[in-house]
Structure 1
Amino acid sequence: MKFWLVLCLFITPSLLITAQNINLPTEYIRNTISGEKTLPANVQGSPYPTEEFQQGTVNILDKSFTTLVRYNALADAFEIKDPTGEITNLLRRPNITVELNGSDYEIEYFIDDDGNRRQGYFQKLNDGDAVFLKRRGVIKQDALRATNSYGRDKPASLDHYEKYFLKKGDTPAEEVRLKRKDILRQLNNEEVEQFVKKHKFKLKNESEVIQTLEFYNSLNIE
């Protein structure tokens, strides 16, 4: 009897993970994926910040599903792998969020480099009316031929980047650099400026920006 009890304790968690994975609603996944298979073989680099699938949680409305997941920065999509090894894309929907490695990822509206309003995945770094967001992406660099006989051809490559955004209320997120003047200009609040000055923040790292936003949110600014 004791043997079967111990055996169940080891088997049950894996069964739960598998069951949750299978129950992921099919209307929220796409059977085709866009990733390495769509790229020429000679391209250097990877679409994925982390190649390996990791256990995460997909939240859809009021339900949660444990699954293996990884982020495709080139396609701006989360890929999931089911127990059979099949890989599919999780559809980009505002009511879908992903928890991975202790971080929350969700769809947000933002203003891109051309001034257009778009939607994309962001890592949410704090809670409140003013939210600090991180966006990961990939730039495709074309191959370059050597300009002379002494040079070398440069193959096409995928270059990863990270950008930071601030979102206030219901307005689209806007890109912000980790610079004191840029952060303070977007927040536009004298009390926040005094707070930053008091703590001698340079606002060049995530921690200082998050602390500043926590103070900003505590002011209940309308």
Structure 2
Amino acid sequence: MKNKLLLIMLGFGSIVLAQNVNTKDGGTIYNSQNYVLDKANLNDSFYIDKEYKNANIKNYSGTRGYRYNAFTDDFEYLDGKKYYNLEKQDGLELNFLNGQIYKYTSYYDDNGELKKGYLQVLTDINGNNILYKSVKVSKTELGNTNSYNNMDSVKFRTLINYYIGTGNKIEQVSKSNKDLNKIAKAAKLNISKEKDLIKLVDILNK
């Protein structure tokens, strides 16, 4: 019984320790031991940008290269020759060295359904109103297939949505939102265009 308990404790300890990894500069970066899809099943169509770009995780020191898998809604990284997913936690924030920010959070879609996922932050993250962007890739089967890479049998589609966060609530931008449309019309903005939505949020924050 004691040996069994010891094994359980050791196993738990290894899981906990796996959350932090030491970097060469002595800092720690956020880590996860969740394997990504086998390399053979990774498809270029899953990514808007296949390149790994350096980022740090809020409240952790050190940087690592990540890329966003828009099909699985995961940030992937390489450790040696193995592929890993960044473990998802509410409020997890990736700050890329190129200025892009992604946050794992809860939000409401156009049907009022509560969902969770990674959203890109497009405006001041400390603003009263924040504009977010979601880019997802979906797969449609055109025939019988057992492989993600069978392009003759699979069609991929990219879906982009925008959300505005106010306080603790993030809601999808809807063309049927009368208040937003009224403000957009007065400012001669089109809520279907990203650059105009950024201007619209700037107006809301004034």
Length-normalised TM-score, structure 2 = 0.70
Identity %: 24
Query: Of residues 68, 73, 79 in structure 1, which corresponds to 2:70?
Result: 73
How far has the Cα of 1:204 moved from its partner? 3.7
Cα shift readout 1:130-171 (whole Å, capped 9, x = no counterpart)? 2211101111101248xxxxxxx9521222221112222212
Query: Of residues 86, 90, 99 in structure 2, which corresponds to 1:90?
Result: 86
- Are residue 118 (structure 1) and residue 133 (structure 2) matched? no
How far has the Cα of 1:49 moved from its partner? 1.3
Aligned length: 176
1:31 equivalent in structure 2: 34
- Are residue 102 (structure 1) and residue 99 (structure 2) matched? yes
Secondary structure at 1:159's aligned position in 2?
Answer: strand
Q: Residues 165 and 183 of structure 1: is their aligned pair in 2 closer, same or farther, counting only changes over 3 Å?
A: farther
Contact 1:47 1:74 in 2 (8 A): yes
How far has the Cα of 1:21 moved from its partner? 9.9
Query: Of residues 106, 131, 156 in structure 2, which corresponds to 1:158?
Result: 156
Cα shift readout 1:79-115 (whole Å, capped 9, x = no counterpart)? 1123x34321101112421123321000121124664
* Amino acid aligned to 1:211: K
Provide the rounded CA distance (Å) in 1 between the counterparts of 2:193 and 2:62.
33
* Amino acid aligned to 2:178: R
1:13 equivalent in structure 2: none
Cα shift readout 1:169-188 (whole Å, capped 9, x = no counterpart)? 212x22225xxxx3862548
Provide the rounded CA distance (Å) in 1 between the counterparts of 2:128 and 2:176.
15
Contact 1:20 1:66 in 2 (8 A): no
Bigger-Rg structure (1/2)? 1
Provide the rounded CA distance (Å) in 1 between the counterparts of 2:136 and 2:91.
22
How far has the Cα of 1:19 moved from its partner? 1.9
1:51 equivalent in structure 2: 50
Alignment of 1:6-21 (within 5 A): 19=24
More helix by share: 1
1:205 equivalent in structure 2: 193
1:214 equivalent in structure 2: 202
Q: Structure 1: which 5+ runs fail to align? A: 1-16, 146-152
Length-normalised TM-score, structure 1 = 0.66
- Are residue 185 (structure 1) and residue 182 (structure 2) matched? no
Q: Residues 212 and 183 of structure 1: is their aligned pair in 2 closer, same or farther, counting only changes over 3 Å?
A: farther
